[in-house]
Amino acid sequence: MPEARAAMSGSYSLYLDVLRLLAALVVLVSHAAWQALPAGVRWWPDSLGHNAVVVFFVLSGYVIAYVADHKEHDLRSFWVSRLARVYSVAVPALLLTLLFDRIGMALDPAFYAEGNLAAYDHFGVRLLASLAMVNELWLVSIMPFSNSPYWSLCYEMAYYLLFSLWVFGGRHRVLLTAVAALVIGPKILLLLPVWLLGVALYHWRAGYRLPEVAGWLLWAGSIVGIVVFQVADIGAQLSAWSRGWLGDGLHHRLHFSKHFVGDYLLALLIGAHFLGTRCVAHRFEALLGVVAGAIRSAAGLTFSIYLYHLPVVFVAAIVLEGVPPGAGRFAALVAFVLAIVLPLGLLTENRKDGLRRWLHAHLPGATPPPLKEAPRA
């Protein structure tokens, strides 16, 4: 049907890849600026990195809805792809974190202690929780050493579980999904509407029939709205408002979900941008097509950039401690991080398909038809 083609057309898919890459780089830049630039030089609020994760959530919901509709038609094939995608990067991320934390603590232990940048008490619990992706259940937040961005991966895995049980759970899907939601708890569920917005955008048929002028209005208007949201730090203002009625204790224990009110608003703006872009993506085809290969290759490293960068940022900050804060230190720090993260990302991305084949061969159940590469989530 026309909707299926528009849902992930070549130009639209390329545009989403650009957004995905930019979101990962925004998180990297926000953490690098925190360590390399004087506070007065940073014109953007500290919420920039968190807001970029909202982009990931909406995009993830959209892509997962697409692959479940077109590529992965049963629970087994769905989870083979998800596990291969996640663990091909998550396990190296944890190993990298342990290695660079050790290096950083050997160079300057006070750096980590003063900023509370890493947590190593209950080492076994932290490691096992991170491997099982249960760091953020209910009101618990188990930091995986210094790799705080790992939290969003735990949220993603919970959303994959809920989605897969609902879509593939058959006549027991309501009960299975309800039990899973009870185990997951309120903190992760608070941001579930953000992820489900992406699913809804994929399935909303009327959205595929919008006139092009409406698409341009949504595309341009959403950009303006997102810029205003970020520069005015509306998310922080809404978080302060919600703290007033939640109370300081509960608000703090929500951890990465405490900005949920602002995240809902931002997700609507991002969803409007996705919707508008889908209407006008063909207008970007000539421009994006020229660099399609480069976009695909760079976007393929998005997950690695996001999940590997922060422990390396901390070591880079220690190594560059003698360089005065400013643009030079910032540029050197980003270059240091990318020089380590990108080659490692290339290595681990190449292991993903091998892990998928291994899972297909060894997981219980009938062997499905040969794999076709699906868009990344």
Give residue-wise pLDDT tens across range 289-342: 888 888 888 888 999 999 999 999 999 999 998 888 888 889 999 999 999 999
Q: Is residue 302 part of a domain?
A: yes
Q: Judge whether 45 lies within some domain.
A: yes
Report how far residue 362's alpha carbon sits from residue 364's, in angstroms, rounded to the nearest whole number: 6
The predicted structure's pLDDT at residue 374: 46
Q: Is residue 285 part of a domain?
A: yes
Q: What is the mean pLDDT of each run of 10 residues along the chain (377 residues)?
A: 58 90 93 81 73 94 92 88 91 95 91 79 92 93 92 95 93 94 96 96 90 94 94 90 90 92 96 93 84 88 93 93 87 94 88 81 62 47
Q: Does residue 261 lie in a domain region? A: no
Q: CA Rg, the chain, in Å?
A: 21
In a domain, 249, yes or no: no
The pLDDT score that the predictor gives to residue 138 is: 93
Question: Distance between CA atoms of 6 and 316, rounded to whole angstroms?
Answer: 43
- Rounded to whole angstroms, the Cα distance separating 199 from 214 reads 21
Specify the DSSP class assigned to residue 145. B
Prediction pTM value: 0.89
State which residues form the domain around 357. Answer: 2-220+271-362
**Is 148 a domain residue?**
yes
Give pLDDT, residue 5.
Answer: 52
**Domain contains 247:** no
- Side chain identity, residue 46: D
Which backbone phi and psi does 376 adopt, to 5 degrees?
Answer: -75, 145
In the chain, how many domains are there? 1
CB 227, CB 41: distance < 8 Å: no
- What is the residue-wise DSSP string for 20-64? HHHHHHHHHHHHHHHHHS-GGG--S-TTHHHHHHHHHHHHHHHHH
Predicted local confidence at residue 327, as pLDDT: 86
Whether 111 is covered by a domain: the verdict is yes
